[in-house]
Amino acid sequence: MSPDLKYLLFSTILCFVQVLVAAMGANQAVGLPTLAGNRDNLPAIGGWAGRAKRAHLNMIENLVLFAALVLIAVAAGKANAMTAMGAMIFFWGRLAYAIIYVAGITWLRTVAWFVSVIGMAIIAFELVKAL
């Protein structure tokens, strides 16, 4: 498995872990009977549980773009040391982002997000360069 795909796998696992953490937080905040219901009038979930949910949703948004870039690089035979580095930067940036966001550390969360975007930009640059 190429490093790019390895980090795509790790990022997908991270996304799955984030949904579990968000679900645990929601369960703690509103209880299982509320979550098992139709959720028509689900109360706002705040604190770390709300941050966990928002971090997970942000991961989904970014994972779509990251996955597309990695899969294009691999399918086109353009995966190289730079795309692997971009994938690694994305993963570690996203891991840091998840931890920092749930912990409630403002500004540093934005820095971690930007680091992950740099990882995607590196992959995109390598793909555009190969056109």
**Closest C-alpha among 27, 18, 16, 11 to residue 99:** 18
Give residue 99's region: left, alpha or beta (phi > 0; psi -120 to 50): alpha
Query: What residue spans define the domains of the chain?
Result: 3-129
For residue 81, the number of C-alpha atoms closer than 13 Å in the C-beta half-sphere is 0
pLDDT digits (tens, 9 = 90+) for 89-115: 999 999 999 999 999 999 999 999 999
We find that the CATH architecture of domain 3-129 is Up-down Bundle (1.20)
User: Tokens 């793909």 — which residue?
Assistant: 127
Read off the amino acid at residue 49: A
Query: What is the reported pTM?
Result: 0.95
Contacts of 105 (CB under 8 A, 6+ apart): none
pLDDT at residue 92, as a whole number = 98
pLDDT at residue 41, as a whole number = 86
**Closest C-alpha among 47, 51, 50, 58 to residue 14:** 58
pLDDT at residue 5, as a whole number = 98
pLDDT at residue 16, as a whole number = 98
Mean pLDDT by 10 residues, the chain (131 residues): 97 98 96 90 93 98 98 97 98 98 97 98 96 89
Read off the amino acid at residue 92: W
Separation CA 19–CA 116 (nearest Å): 19
User: Tokens 């109360």 — which residue?
Assistant: 43
